[in-house]
Amino acid sequence: MILKVCVGSACHIKGSYDVIKIITKIIEEEGLGKEVELKACFCLNNCTEGVSVIVDGEEKIYSFSKENAEKKFKDIIEERVL
């Protein structure tokens, strides 16, 4: 699974690098490195909704923040790979 986090201007200001750090930590702690590949990308056209995150191959764009990144990752991503 490829997980893309927007690092464009609006998402950068809203904390995309914090979200990336949190997700990276979870991937490492849970041993999901073979199942989840994390990539940065530019604008997903969801600029007003928070840090945009998309699962490659899906159309739905998720809005993450520093405060909800861990919960959202576990709710959206972990259930698909475990």
Query: 3-state SS of the chain: helix, strand, coil percent to 5?
Result: 40, 25, 35
Report if pTM > 0.85. yes
Rounded Cα gap, residues 32 and 24, in angstroms: 10
Express each pLDDT in 35-71 by its tens digit.
Answer: 999 999 999 999 999 899 999 889 999 999 999 999 9
Domains and CATH numbers, the chain: 2-64 (3.40.30.10)
Q: What is the mean pLDDT of the chain?
A: 94
pLDDT band at 10 (very low <50, low <70, confident <90, very high): very high
Q: The tokens of 59 are what?
A: 């159309």
- Residues ≥6 apart with Cβ < 8 Å to 74: 26
SS3 18: helix
